[in-house]
A and B are shown apart, each in its own frame.
Chain A
Amino acid sequence: MKTNHVISMKEVVKNFPIGGGFFTALNNVTIDFKEGEFTGLVGPSGSGKTTLLNIIGSLDTPSQGEAIVLGKAIQTLSAKQSAALRNVNIGFIFQSYNLLPVYTVYENVEFALLLQKKSATERRKMVMDALEWVGLTDKEKSRPSQLSGGESQRVAIARAMVKRPPIVLADEPSANLDAANSHHILKTMLKLNQELKTTFIFATHDEKVMHYLTRIVHLRDGQIDSITTKDN
């Protein structure tokens, strides 16, 4: 049963130096995520949702404990190894989209593939597929500044999904979107989750998001408060 755990956190502690001492943002978090999960980290502001996502995404390392992602211990990776892990295996979706402003939609989506040194024809096909998933094939030449919030977030989803990573981490993806757009992107992600078996982990306090989740991990003060599972 532990074979299909793509992510495994064991007694993870994260301390941030603050003033003379430490602030404990995560306190003994132990949790596993299975392949194809559509999970959310939910909790009040400051409860440690982003911190946990960052550790899973190897943008940060635990102060104590073990964080194993796709069989790799995050705390032991070199800068190069963690960059490779992110490049190939992890898609990020941010609250404020984080699109590269001087690039077109197409180029934004293509970027991770360029880092992977994929051939031009391969890239072209993958990018167009990704844009089709999010319904933006007609916007491939637009710049981020010409897009609405909902469109921008769909580009971000395409960018995270284009390399077909096993894991996508989405930090408050709907926070800047209206209800209709929120539902739209969530449906898109759910569809991809089902088609590609991608593991999605959200950090959110949006009710609309929670509606779609199959498992909700409640965080409070850096600890897991409770876990609820739903069958959609």
Chain B
Amino acid sequence: MLLIKTAFKNIIGSGKRTWLNVTVLSLTLVIMVAYAGTNDGFVEEARRETREWEIREGQLWHPEYDRFDIFTLQDAHGVIPDELAPCVQSGASVPILVLQGSMFPKGRLQNVLLKGIPVSQTALALPSWEIVPDGSGDIPAIIGKRMAKSADMTTGDRVMLRWRDHNGVFDARQIVIVHIFDSKVPAVDGGQIWFNLDDLYEMSGMAGQATYFVQTRDCLVMSDVAGWHFKDLKFLMKDIDIMEQTARMEGVIIFVILLSIALLAVYDTQVLSIFRRQKEIGTYVALGMTPRTVTWLFTLEGTTYSILAALVSFVWGAPLLALYASYGIPIPGSDDYGIAMGDVLVPVFKVSSILITFGVVALFSALVSYLPARKIARQNMVLALKGKIH
């Protein structure tokens, strides 16, 4: 307790240098917390949106289906297995049929995926309930805003669509865009057109079939069923995991750089103060401290910088980060990223990452304070009192 008080007094008493150290440490702390919060916010939103719009608790894939290979689509569909029928009936499992096709907006050709979804489903945020006929006899369909942009289409537009039916024979009809939805998840948007599943059955002659199912918690089938493969969240959100890892690595690199600068300042102060405060060290020993205790005193002084930095960070960083958390920051051109992302990024500050950040900073400032202070214990106190150690 005496040591803590003494350490605190000494560093407060040493003025400018203390505040320099505290400032760089505090900057490091706040920047790192902001950075981690940004990443976590980004990743959490990506995960949440992806689940809400695309995968919920997981997907059950037709054995031939591979979402990265459109050439598998020709065969990647099958009759809804009996085991799943109750889930599909209750809406706990959402069957989705995927076909390949092309459309001709304004005379150009564009390859598209045709996806059929039950209009009555509520498991996904995808607004299937908007797929209602407009009375013209054209097939109603909805698209996302990215698709609308790339194909230059708006609500009410009609376009010629060609696809292969179950016999592999081309068929063509005019469709009408009845709604454009706004999703943060590119995977349900770019290059795809959403239909009423029943319409798609009629168009393809594949009644009662699906390419994959989106499973909710209410459907307890969370494993392979009748040859269909269950894909869990980990598999389906691998992209986000990879992105999170990458961002975390970047964070660690930035952290190492910032922390090194801050620690260098602390280390420098320590070396200098152990050199300059020879007489003081000798005096502590003359007054009855052991050299080892003085070593701890100096170590504690260095560590106190990080504690002060935490307090200072709290004072200026907490309101700033709270503001950031409530308003977020706008992301220009967020449509261009391949991963679910909103127009505004709202950070998520986790107590655990704040504590880890602070812990690492405190640990390393203790370490760089201890290293130079170690030599106090080996010092000749007679020379120290004379201020004669070089």
Contacts and interface: CB of A to CB of B under 8 A. Distances in A.
Contact size range, A = 20 to 34
Contacts of B381: 59-60
A13 to B, nearest CB: 16
A60 B283 contact: no
B292 A111 contact: no
A112 B288 contact: yes
Contact of B13 (A83, A84, A101, A159): A101
Contacts of A115: 2, 287-289
Interface in B1-42: 2, 9-10, 12-14
B292 A79 contact: yes
A53 to B, nearest CB: 10
A86 interface: yes
A231 to B, nearest CB: 32
A96 B2 contact: no
A92 B286 CA distance: 7
Nearest to B386: A50
Contacts of B290: 79-80, 83
A59 B288 CA distance: 10
Given A59-B286, A86-B287, A96 B279 contact: yes
A102 B287 contact: no
Interface in B267-311: 279-280, 282-283, 285-293
B12 A88 contact: no
Given A60-B382, A96-B279, A115-B2, A88 B288 contact: yes
B385 interface: yes
Contacts of B13: 101-102
Contacts of A111: 287
Interface residues on B, range: 20 to 34
Contacts of B280: 98, 100-101
A111 B382 CA distance: 20
B309 to A, nearest CB: 20
Given A79-B292, A96-B279, A102 B286 contact: no
Contacts of B385: 59, 94, 98
Contacts of B292: 79
Nearest to B381: A59
A102 B14 contact: yes
A87 interface: yes
A59 B283 contact: no
A84 B287 CA distance: 9
Which of B10, B285, B286 has the largest count of A CB atoms less than 10 A from its CB? Answer: B286
B251 to A, nearest CB: 38
A15 to B, nearest CB: 14
Contacts of A83: 285, 288-290, 293
A57 interface: yes
A27 interface: no
A54 interface: yes
Nearest to A112: B287
A114 interface: yes
A133 interface: no
A57 B286 contact: yes
A125 to B, nearest CB: 19
Given A59-B381, A94-B385, A100 B14 contact: no
A212 interface: no
A186 B364 CA distance: 50
Contacts of B282: 59, 98
Interface string A98-112: 101111000000011
A72 to B, nearest CB: 14
Contacts of A54: 382
Interface in A134-179: 159
A87 B287 contact: yes
Contacts of B289: 83, 87, 115
Nearest to B287: A112
Given A59-B381, A98-B385, A115-B2, A86 B10 contact: no
Contact of B291 (A79, A103, A116, A159): A79
Contacts of A159: 287
Nearest to B9: A102
Interface of A: 50-51, 54, 57, 59-60, 79-80, 83-84, 86-88, 92, 94, 96, 98, 100-103, 111-112, 114-116, 159
24 contacts: A51-B382, A54-B382, A57-B286, A59-B381, A59-B385, A60-B382, A79-B292, A83-B285, A83-B289, A83-B290, A87-B289, A94-B385, A96-B279, A98-B286, A101-B13, A102-B9, A102-B12, A102-B13, A103-B9, A112-B287, A114-B2, A115-B287, A116-B288, A159-B287
Given A59-B285, A102-B9, 16 more contacts: A60-B381, A79-B290, A83-B289, A83-B290, A86-B286, A87-B287, A87-B288, A92-B287, A98-B279, A98-B280, A98-B385, A102-B12, A111-B287, A114-B2, A116-B288, A159-B287
